Structure 1
Amino acid sequence: MISVAVVGAETPGNVGTIARAMKNFGLSDLYLVDPPALDPEGEAYGFAGHAREDVLPNATETTFDDLVERFHTVGTTAVTNEDARKHVRYPYRTPADLADSLRDVETDTCVVFGRERVGLTNEELARLDEVVSIPASAEYPVLNLGQAATVVLYELRDLSVAETQHPDAVERADEPEIEGLHEQFAALLERINHPEGKRAKTARLFRRLVGRAHPTPREARTLRGVFRRAAMFADPPDDD
C-alpha cells in the first residue's frame, strides 16, 4: 500500500492540491507532519476538489519519527548529488523507476514530500530509505510542491488505480480494413494522376504512416470514405 506524507507544509493550498492529486490517482492515506491550520472553509479544502470529502478530512497528523518507524519511506527532492561520494541524495530514482521497483514488492510505502521553500533537509533524507527526484530541466529543476506531488503520484498510478476512465488498449482496425484503406489510397493516386514513378514510394510512405498510427475501425472507415469521395470528384487520368 502507498501512503503520502507532507512535512512542514507552509501553505494550506498545497496540502489541498496534494490531497486532490491523491484522489486523482487512487490514494487515500495522507499523513501530515507539522501542518498549517486546515480550515474547512479555507484554501486547503478549496483546492482539494472531491478530496475534500474523504482524503483531506481523514488526514492523520503524525511525527517524522513515526513515518520512519512505520513505513518503507521514499523522500522526494529536486536537488541531488552527482556521485556516490555524497550519498544523502544519491543514488536516486526517477518516479517511473520507483513505480517499477515497487511493482512486485509487498510493503507499506510512504512517499514523503517536504517544505515549499527548502524541501526535506539532509538530516531528514538521511533517515529515509530511498530518494526520488523528477528529471526536470537543469536550468530550473525545482517544482512547486503541489506540482511535484502530482507528477510523482501520476507515475505511481498503476500501483494504486484499479481502473481509469481510459480503456486498457486502443482497438485497432483489422487487417482487411487497413488493406482496403491502402488499396483505396493507391486508387486515388491513380485517379488524380499522381506521377507514376512516385506512386509506389508515396504508397509506401502512407503505409508506414498508417502502421505507426494504428487506426481504429472508425478512423479506417472514415478515411476510406474520404478517399472514395475524393476519387469521385477527381479528374480522370489523361490518357493522351
Structure 2
Amino acid sequence: MKPVVAVVDAETSGNVGTIARAMKNFGFEDLYLVNPPDLHRDSEAYGFAGQAREDVLPNAEIVTFDYLVENFHTVGFTSITNEDARKHTRFPFRTPDELVASLSDVETQTCLVFGRERVGLVNEELERIDEVASIPASADYPSLNLGQAATVALYELQDLARDDSQLPDVSTQRADEAEIEAFYDHFGEFLDDLDYPGEKKPKTLRMMRRILGRAHPTGREVNTLRGILRRAQRKADD
C-alpha cells in the first residue's frame, strides 16, 4: 500500500510546501499535518509547492500525533546518533533504501513521519513510533534541513508510491546483432580503404568490438556511425 506522509509541528510553511512538492514528484499523495503553521493561499507553502498546490497541499488533513500512532504503521525519520542497543530510542534504525524492501512485503498502511526544523521528532514521540529511519550523511554535519530530509527520503522510497505506467520508456533498445555485425564489417572495409597496417587490423577490430559491446548502441546510433564511415570513405576517394 502506498505510504502517507506526515509533518509534525513544522515551523515554516515553506518547508511544508517543499515536502508537498517532493511528494508530487515521487508519487505520494496523502499529507497529514500535526500542528501546522498558517497555510493560506498566499503563504510560502503554496509558493514552494509547485504543482502540488493543486492537490497534495489543499487536501492535507490536520490531525493529532495520537491519530498517526493509532491509525498507521509509523516510521519516524531522525538524524543518526551514537545510540546503540543499550539506549535505543533512536536505535536500531533503517536507511530509506532498506525501508523499500521491508515495507514492500508488508500489507499495512504506513505513515512516514517527519519532525520539526530545529529538533526533529523528540524522544517522547520516537518512543511511540514503530520504526526509525535515518539518512546517512557526513559525520562532520549529519543534520539535514526538514525539507531536504523529506525530499531525499521520498526519492529513495518512490518505488513504494510511483506509478511507472505513466513514465516514458527510457530503456535502451539495443540494435539487432545483424546491424552491429554489419557495422563491424563496414569498419573493417574502412580500415582497408585507409591502408591500415594489416598486422594491426585484427587488434583494432577487436578493440572496436569491445567498445561497442560495452556501449550497447541503438539501431539509430549504429546507422549514424556507418554514415560517418561512408562520408569518410567518399572524402578519401576524392
For the superposition of Structure 1 and Structure 2, which TM-score range results when normalised by the shorter chain?
A: 0.7 to 0.9
Name the aligned partner's letter for residue 2 of structure 1: P
Q: How does 1:1-240 map to 2 (within 5 A)?
A: 1-81=2-82, 83-162=84-163, 163-167=165-169, 169-234=171-236
Distance 1:198 1:133 in 2: 56
Over 3 Å counting, the alpha-carbon distance change for 1:17 and 1:175 in structure 2 is: same
Distance 1:91 1:74 in 2: 12
Q: Which runs of 4 or more aligned residues in structure 1 lie more than 6 Å from their structure 2 counterparts after TM superposition?
A: none
Shift in Å at residue 160 of structure 1?
1.4
Distance 1:146 1:217 in 2: 43
Question: TM-score by structure 2 length?
Answer: 0.88
The percentage of counterpart residues that share the same residue type is: 64
Shift in Å at residue 225 of structure 1?
1.5
Name the aligned partner's letter for residue 223 of structure 1: L
Answer whether contact 1:29 1:55 (CA < 8 A) is retained: yes
Which secondary structure does the structure 2 equivalent of 1:127 belong to?
A: coil
Answer whether contact 1:80 1:92 (CA < 8 A) is retained: no
Aligned residues: 236
Q: What are the Cα deviations for residues 189-211 of structure 1, in whole angstroms up to 9, with x where unaligned?
A: 44445554444344333333322
Shift in Å at residue 51 of structure 1?
0.9
| Structure 2 stretches lacking a partner, 5+ long | none
Name the aligned partner's letter for residue 44 of structure 1: A
Distance 2:76 2:86 in 1: 19
Over 3 Å counting, the alpha-carbon distance change for 1:152 and 1:175 in structure 2 is: same
Name the aligned partner's letter for residue 188 of structure 1: F
Question: TM-score by structure 1 length?
Answer: 0.87
Shift in Å at residue 94 of structure 1?
2.0
- After the TM superposition, which of the residue ranges 95-104 and 227-236 deviates more from structure 2? 227-236
Shift in Å at residue 52 of structure 1?
0.8
Over 3 Å counting, the alpha-carbon distance change for 1:57 and 1:209 in structure 2 is: same
- After the TM superposition, which of the residue ranges 216-225 and 17-26 deviates more from structure 2? 216-225
Answer whether contact 1:75 1:125 (CA < 8 A) is retained: yes
Over 3 Å counting, the alpha-carbon distance change for 1:227 and 1:18 in structure 2 is: same
Answer whether contact 2:80 2:136 (CA < 8 A) is retained: no
Over 3 Å counting, the alpha-carbon distance change for 1:141 and 1:175 in structure 2 is: farther
